[in-house]
Amino acid sequence: MKVQPFHLAIPVSDLESCRKFYKETLGCGEGRSSDHWVDFNFFGHQLVIHYQDPQKSASSTSNPVDGKDVPVPHFGVVLQWDVFHEFAGLLKRKHIDFIIEPYIRFEGKPGEQATMFFKDPCGNALEFKAFKDMSQLFAS
């Protein structure tokens, strides 16, 4: 099966602060936009942020994974191992407030991965991860 880029649309209560975050902090290229939404090149995938009245936003919860409270819902991408570590260093230099600092999850077990979590300015949780061995992506 050929892998195609995914499309993801997320609600944001402050379009301009999220536009700046995805464009300047994360380095995502901006595509089409209107006064209610903005398209981004999110590591080769299409991410669209849509303005949503904050009174209509859902609350966030978490699930325990590897001794950490993983925010639900969340979204993100799987990066190449070296790209993940370069990106984590960039985010640290930009003083990102991590929910879960970059670390190795499931170390020495099936599915071992580098992972980190943080939120955008409107509270959407993002996860970035990487596998030294991509065949471990769906390992159990």
Q: Say whether 91 sits in a helix, a strand or coil.
A: helix
Overall average pLDDT of the 18-31 stretch? 96
The Cα–Cα gap between 70 and 44 comes to: 24
How far, in Å, are 14, 74, 80 from residue 121 at the CA level?
Answer: 8, 14, 25
Same fold, 1-52 and 63-140: yes
Phi and psi dihedrals of 53, rounded to 5? -55, 125
**Mean pLDDT, rounded, of the chain:** 89
Range list of H helices, 21-76: none
Q: Is the pLDDT of residue 106 over 80?
A: yes
Structure tokens at 105: 């999850």
Overall average pLDDT of the 95-113 stretch? 94
Q: Say whether 39 sits in a helix, a strand or coil.
A: strand
Q: Is the pLDDT of residue 114 over 90?
A: yes
Structure tokens at 89: 């260093």
The yes/no answer on whether domain 63-140 falls in CATH 3.60.110.10 is: no
Q: Tally Cβ neighbours within 10 Å of residue 79.
A: 18
Which pLDDT belongs to residue 2?
Answer: 60
pLDDT in tens, 35-49: 888 999 999 998 999
Which pLDDT belongs to residue 78?
Answer: 93
Which pLDDT belongs to residue 5?
Answer: 76
Distance of CA 124 to the CA centre of its chain: 9
- For residue 85, give the H/E element and its range: helix 81-93
Structure-model confidence comparison of residues 85 and 1, the more confident one: 85
Instruction: Locate the domains of the chain by residue range.
Output: 1-52, 63-140
Q: Is the pLDDT of residue 1 over 90?
A: no
Query: 139 and 123 in contact (C-beta within 8 Å)?
Result: no
How far, in Å, are 69, 75, 97 from residue 78 at the CA level?
Answer: 19, 10, 20
pLDDT in tens, 49-95: 998 877 765 566 777 888 998 887 889 899 999 999 999 999 999 99
Which pLDDT belongs to residue 97?
Answer: 97
Q: In the chain, what percentage of residues exceed pLDDT 70?
A: 93
Which pLDDT belongs to residue 102?
Answer: 98
The yes/no answer on whether domain 1-52 falls in CATH 1.20.120.160 is: no
